[in-house]
Structure 1
Amino acid sequence: MSMILSIGSLSILVHVCLFMTTTSIAQFVLDTNREPIEGDEEYFIRPVITNNGVGRFTLVNRNGSCPLHLGLENTHFPQHSLSVKFIPFAPHHDDDDVRLNRDLRVIFQASSSCVKSSTEWRLDEKDIRSGRRLITTGRDDGTIGSYGNFFRIVETQIAGRYNIQWCPTEVCPNCRFECGTVGFLLENEKFLLALDGSALPVVFEKE
């Protein structure tokens, strides 16, 4: 009888541990190795589907002027993908892992051809030509309430695939935002990242 009880207790303990592990992992953003993304590491962001001429995230010179825009590699032309670092708005005291649905800043680990310009992601105002909100680089200048540098990573319905959103409700819980999910648009053979269109599922590859 004691052996039966011991086996039963062990089975319960294993199920509890598995549940706790799954619950713990579920709150983190995972890279393609199924490991939690860390704030002090660099990662490449890649669209889930890359057979339509697009590659990983990079900086794009849209019209020959600053600031630079966020975009995707056009695999038909020589470009270089760039890694990023994630800086949580409210990091946990016990680790620097990146969590789902939490506001964070994203910074390309590269120098900019624009003098004194940051490579930090920033939401721009609605573009007149496309009618969409493009994503540029630089520190927010206050045009959209000084919250333009904060994004978040959310789950899709498929495990390991994510969407990136702009909806900084952790930074400003009482604000009312026109939230949006990052997608892309094709302009003059350049793939620009923008909100207000179809979402672009992505994965994160550790450098």
Structure 2
Amino acid sequence: MVRVTSCLSYLWLLVAVPSAVIAQSSPNTNPAVLDVAGQPLLPGVEYYVLPDTQRGATGGGLTLINRNESCPLYVGQHSRSSTGLPVIFTPFFASETVIYEDADFTVQFAAVTICAQSTQWELDESELSNGSVLIRTGTDPLYLRIPTKETDGDGYRLYFCPTTVCPICKYNCGNVTVVNEDGKRLLALYGPALPVVFRRA
């Protein structure tokens, strides 16, 4: 069973809350997430998510991986220094004009694939043997956030704990990490964080 949330009302919330309510935004006093040029991360703009080599991260940018020789495609990381595919961030509150620290958003690849489906990130339906849950593409939105910056450099980490989406829910919060499966570097929840930076495409 996927260790995502113990609050069934989370799923009900996404269905029952009118879109007009979701579009509202309470004042956000958190700092904006910055790209490598020092500019705020903007919704609807394409960015490369790259490993923060200054914090010891290796590999390249993010990409789509054919894990089982079938659809859906999974979110993974290039093993070498490729920039990968650009992504677009969409905040939970549609009126927010930047991506803030500690605020929920969805991620979607700005790419066309061989699969006739969305390139939005979602969680897989089952756990791996080590307790991690892979991230794939589909229509069930995965809400991530970027915790308050913990270093003086450019690095951030992606984190699952969507309390903006549902403040009363209890989650098994955790980092976005990388797991190796038959030589494929796949993104998953629950493990050592992959330090990342963002570069405008």
Please indicate, yes or no, whether the TM-score normalized by the shorter chain is above 0.5: yes
2:136 is paired with a residue whose SS is strand
* Compared CA separation, residues 199 and 27, structure 1 to 2 (3 A): same
Instruction: Name stretches of at least 5 consecutive residues in structure 1 with no aligned partner.
Output: 1-23, 141-147
Find the aligned partners of 1:25 and 1:57 in 2 and give their Cα distance.
Answer: 30
Partner residue of 1:66 out of 71, 79, 99? 71
The one-letter code sitting in structure 1 at the alignment partner of 2:137 is T
Between Structure 1 and Structure 2, the one with more helix by share is 1
Give the % identical residues. 38
Find the aligned partners of 2:178 and 2:122 in 1 and give their Cα distance.
Answer: 15
Q: Deviations over 1:89-135 (max 9, x none)?
A: 0144xx611111111111100012112x1100112234344431110
Whether 1:163 aligns to 2:164 is no
Instruction: Name stretches of at least 5 consecutive residues in structure 2 with no aligned partner.
Output: 1-27
Cα deviation, residue 197, structure 1? 1.1
Q: Deviations over 1:15-58 (max 9, x none)?
A: xxxxxxxxx99610000000101113110000113987610011
Equivalent position of 1:86 in the other structure: 89
Equivalent position of 2:6 in the other structure: none
Does the Cα contact within 8 Å between 2:157 and 2:175 map onto a contact in 1?
Answer: yes
1:1-80 alignment runs, 5 A limit: 27-49=31-53, 54-75=59-80
Q: Deviations over 1:144-176 (max 9, x none)?
A: xxxx52111123421321110111111111111
Cα deviation, residue 75, structure 1? 2.0
Does the Cα contact within 8 Å between 1:59 and 1:70 map onto a contact in 2?
Answer: yes
TM superposition outliers: structure 1 runs of 4+ over 3 Å: 50-53
2:50 is paired with a residue whose SS is strand
Equivalent position of 1:127 in the other structure: 127
Q: TM-score, normalised by structure 2?
A: 0.77
* Compared CA separation, residues 25 and 55, structure 1 to 2 (3 A): farther
Find the aligned partners of 1:119 and 1:69 in 2 and give their Cα distance.
Answer: 9
